[in-house]
Amino acid sequence: MPNHPAPAIPYSLLDLAPVTEGSTPAEAFANSLDLARHAERLGYTRFWLAEHHNMPGIASAATAVLIGHIGGGTSAIRVGAGGVMLPNHAPLQVAEQFGTLASLYPGRIDLGLGRAPGTDQATTRALRRYYSGAEAFPSDVMELLRYFEPVQPGQPVQAVPGAGLDVPVWILGSSLFGAQLAAALGLPYAFASHFAPAAMTEALALYHRDFKPSKRLRAPYAMLALNVVAADTRAEAQRLFTTQQQSFVRLRRGMPGLIPPPIDDIEAFWTPQEKAMVEQALACSVVGDARDVREGIAEFAARHRPDELMLTANIFDHQARLYSFELAARAFRRD
């Protein structure tokens, strides 16, 4: 592997408030706060939480509520949504929620927006008062952005709080659609390369090519997500990674559940077809010891040239997860 220097870019952390086998959502929330404080000490720029529903192993469904919990327990790290699935919500309500968060924690709140439901079809219907799909996503984003503008004379509806507040809005995506929208609106863009990397290169190129400067952002700013699992030895890191591999297979089998412990023989768990599917989905992953992780992160950053990296790891043991993110943070040190 080429010897790339440590990337001189911000690094951030994506959390799903994982509920492991034998634990509860309450314990997941305590672990998320502990992880956020750990990330703050280690120099991570952001701590984002993702909206998922009807997933027993993911406790971050009420994303804005959990962001408030994390924001109140930390002091400097930016806390945000990576993201809020806007088709599930009225734009005004999202503006009010994140206006509230930005009022409580000024200068520390991010709002990432996605157009996927973050769940299955039955739950999608249960979430929405009316079901119209995600076709209205661009107009919903623009409506939401307007609620953060200063109130105009005669404006019939305003976000209280929210109006006139500086809440950075990101577009999230795993296809070309999000890249096109982020470029057209002049917004920062975060690509879900940690689970859907197929269109990453094309989406980044499109975003940079078509970006139109806006009041919110003068030049394109792209963040890529990367799975990173680090341990003292390569074998132990690969074993820890089997938790995430199992979770992907279970989801594809239609059997999502609590986050499973690692196993010694992943080959006995999956079929060749499932293995190929997981390897494609998790192609943007760095797994290994401290040196492997340092070189892997540096090579990924040098190849794709993101403005920022968002690291994530689905590790069963909380202490092992803390240590993994500590080893990952060292990969960004220039000393």
The predicted pLDDT at position 335 comes to 59
Determine the residue type at 147.
Answer: Y
Q: CA 107, CA 54: separation in Å to the nearest integer?
A: 32
Residue 170's nearest CA partner among 310, 313, 328 is 310
Please report whether residue 80 resides in a domain.
yes
pTM above 0.85, yes or no: yes
Q: 84: how many CB neighbours lie within 10 A of its CB? A: 25
Tens digit of each residue's pLDDT (9 = 90 or more) over 190-225: 999 999 999 999 999 999 999 999 999 999 999 999
The CATH number of whichever domain residue 131 belongs to comes to 3.20.20.30
Please check whether residue 261 lies inside any domain of the structure: no
Strand partners, 172: 190
The per-residue pLDDT for 135 is: 77
- The answer to whether position 186 is within a domain reads yes
Domain span at 178 = 11-226+291-313+322-331
Nearest to 315, CA basis, from 28, 108, 85: 28
Identify the CA nearest to 231 among candidates 296, 159, 177, 287. 287
Residue 194 forms part of a structural domain: yes
Note the pLDDT tens digit of each residue in 283-307. 999 999 999 999 999 999 999 999 9
Q: Is the dihedral of CA 164, 167, 173, 179 positive or negative?
A: positive
The verdict on residue 238 lying in a domain is no
* 152, 185, 312, 1 alpha-carbon torsion, rounded to 10°: -150
CA dihedral 70→316→244→60, nearest 10 degrees, is -30
231 within domain boundaries: no
Q: What pLDDT digit, counting tens, does each position of 91-137 carry?
A: 999 999 999 999 999 999 999 999 976 566 777 777 765 556 567 89
The tokens describing 189, both together, are 């863009």
* Contact call for residues 182 and 171 (beta carbons, < 8 A): yes
Could you tell me which residues come within 8 angstroms of residue 253 by beta carbon, excluding any fewer than 6 positions away? none
C-alpha distances in angstroms, 85 versus 53, 80, 287, 300?
10, 13, 29, 28
Gap between the Cα atoms of 248 and 138, Å rounded: 30
Average pLDDT over residues 76-83: 97
Asked whether residue 275 is domain-assigned, the answer is no
Structure tokens at 316: 């069963």
Mean pLDDT, range 21-38, rounded to an integer:
98
Angle at 296 between CA 80 and CA 232, to 5 degrees: 90
Q: Give Cα 207 distance to the centre of its chain.
A: 19
pLDDT > 90: what percent of the chain? 89
What is the number of domains present in the chain? Answer: 1
Does the residue 237 lie in any domain?
Answer: no
